[in-house]
Every structure is written in C-alpha cells, then in structure tokens.
Amino acid sequence: MPKLPSDRRLITGAALVLLGAVLFSTKAVIVKLAYRYEVDSISLLALRMLFSLPFFLLVASYSGKASNRRHARLSHRDRWSILILGVMGYYLASLLDFLGLQYITAGLERLILFVYPTLVLLIGALVFREPVYRRQLGALVLTYVGITIAFLEGLSLSGGKNFVLGTVMVFFGALAYAVYIVGSGRLLPRIGTLRFTSLAMTAAAAAVLIHHGIARQWHLFGFPAPVYGLAFLMALIATVLPSFILSEGIRIIGSGNASIVGSIGPVSTIVLAYIFLGEQLGWMQWSGTILVISGVLFITLQKHRKPRLKPE
C-alpha cells in the first residue's frame, strides 16, 4: 500500500488543487466572452497557447538545469510519456472543450467536464489496480449528488440543435483530461513538478500551433483587440498559473484525491458565469453548490483510514 501523506501535507496539497481548480474554472467564462467577438475555436486556443508558451519554455529551461542535479535524466520512455500526456491533457482535451463551449453554457460545460474524477478513479482501479478508499467513495458520492442536482437544472435551461454534440465533445474532453491526470500522478514524483508540467504544456502548445497552421495557415492577426486581451488573460490565470499549482497538488496528495478536491471547479464556474455572463443560477444549482462544497471539505479534512473498498 502506498505511503499516505500526513494531515498537514494533505491539507496543503488539497488547498493547491482547490486553487488550481478555481483558476482553471475561469477559462470557460473567458472563452464565452471571447466568442462574442466571432473568433473561431482553434484560433482562440492557438492564441492561448502562443501567449502561454514563453512562460513554459522559460520554466522548462530553468527546471531542466535544476532537475539534472536532483533527478535522473529523462529516458526515451519518459519523453514519449510526457509528449503523449501533454497532447492528451492540454491539446485534445482543450480542443474538444473549446468546440463544445460553442453550443453549451459555461456552467454546464464545467459540470460535464468534471465527470473526470470518476474516470480517474475508474482508470486507476481497472488499469493500475489501485484501491478505492471508503472516504474517497463517500466524498465522491456526496460531490456527485451535488453536481447532478446542479446539472439537471442547467440541462433544463440549455438547449439548441447542437446541444448533444457540445455535450459529447466536452465529455470526451473530460476523458482525455482524466488520462492526463492519472499519468501525471505517476510521473510527477520522479520527474518533478516544474519540469513535467512545462514540458507537457510545451508539447501541447506545439500540437495546437501545428493544428492551427494546417487548418488556418497561422492567420492569428486581425481579430478585435479584446480577443487578444482575453487570450492573454486566459493564458496567464487559466493556464500557466493553475497548471503548476495543480501539478504540485497532485504530486502531494495523488491523482485520486486531487480529482475529488478539484470538483469545486464546476461550482466556481457557475458563480463566475452568473457574474460575468448573466447565466442564471436557480435553487437547484445552489443546493448542488452546497453539497459539492461539503464533499470538498470532507475530502480535505477527513483523516486517512486504513479500511478500504477494493475495486470489483
């Protein structure tokens, strides 16, 4: 059985994951604001990565030198793993998410996207035979009861001929991100947070820019000025900062715990979407918010216990 973190480390790691999830949750709101200026999904994603890339290259250079003194050199398998995970987690997942946001609300997008904790635990249990702890199961149930309640009301308020398409796109984005979370949780302790995250994000940025070159011939100029401001804001507070913060939290408390704590993301998106986009928040969504916050507090403060439920 893997060594469990101390209570203090658990709270610190959970706080980092919580902050990272809230910052990441601003992305959907910023994307919806940018769509008001008739920018296409791949161009907006390319601008996000273009503004993010200098930060990740700088950190990759620094972390590479520091890691040579603390960590073993990257093997070919490590390089391929980082490349695949980066493309899965921040290219494919982001692309599907951006496309889906054309058809559904920001609050509903985040709720669908955050089915990924169940996918993370399922992948860990089925592929790596990881145990499922009772406190994880209890917190997961509590959190998803809240998300389901909020989702049902969001579903009744949303619609459109492409609603199902948008929902499916975001769901598969969640699956791609779950693969990234599981893989990163196994590589981070050995490779290091800064080096892994910067290299994975650099790989994702390269994939996005290659895609844009093929689809749009890198025509990234000529959009209204607010598009560039929103893209830079998304790069800084919804990409660069939370990617490092979340990765460090995953390193401390593990991918299973991080996936549950990160379930606060849908709630923060609902609130931000209400403030900045005027998306309505009904009593069912407020009820779901309370349950989700309760689940997050439970997973953060509950002490680790030895009894566990093994996957079927």
Q: Which residues pair with 132 in a beta bridge?
A: 309
Confidence of residue 72 (pLDDT cuts 50, 70, 90): low
* Cα dist from 88 to 84, 129, 260, 303, whole Å: 6, 22, 20, 33
CA–CA distance, 305 with 116 (Å, rounded to integer) = 24
| Structure tokens given for 208 | 């996005």
Residue 147 has a pLDDT of 74
Confidence of residue 49 (pLDDT cuts 50, 70, 90): very high
| Structure tokens given for 68 | 């040579």
2 falls within a domain: no
Residue 70 has a pLDDT of 53
Which of 91-100, 135-144, 264-273 has the highest average model confidence (pLDDT)?
Answer: 91-100
Tally of domains in the chain: 1
Q: Which percentage of the chain shows pLDDT scores above 70?
A: 84
Q: Which percentage of the chain shows pLDDT scores above 90?
A: 26
Q: What is the average pLDDT across 209-232?
A: 93
Residue 25 has a pLDDT of 87
Predicted confidence (pLDDT) at residue 50 exceeds the cutoff of 50: yes
214 falls within a domain: yes
Q: pLDDT tens, 182-215?
A: 888 778 777 877 788 888 888 999 999 999 999 9
Which residue shows structure tokens 């790596």? 128
Residue 312 has a pLDDT of 32
Which of 193-207, 215-229, 236-250 has the highest average model confidence (pLDDT)?
Answer: 215-229
Give every CB contact of residue 25 below 8 A, 6+ residues apart in sequence: 110, 265, 266, 268, 269, 272
Confidence of residue 304 (pLDDT cuts 50, 70, 90): very low
Q: pLDDT tens, 77-110?
A: 888 999 999 999 889 999 999 999 998 888 778 7
Residue 2 has a pLDDT of 45
Q: What is the average pLDDT across 264-274?
A: 81
231 falls within a domain: yes
Q: What is the average pLDDT across 157-172?
A: 76
Range of the domain at 156: 7-309
221 falls within a domain: yes
Predicted confidence (pLDDT) at residue 237 exceeds the cutoff of 80: yes
Residue 161 has a pLDDT of 65
Closest CA to 51 of 68, 76, 30, 37: 30
* Cα dist from 176 to 18, 42, 96, 209, whole Å: 21, 18, 9, 19
1 falls within a domain: no
Predicted confidence (pLDDT) at residue 145 exceeds the cutoff of 70: yes
Residue 158 has a pLDDT of 63
Phi, psi of 308, deg, nearest 5: -150, 160
138 falls within a domain: yes
114 falls within a domain: yes
Residue 294 has a pLDDT of 73
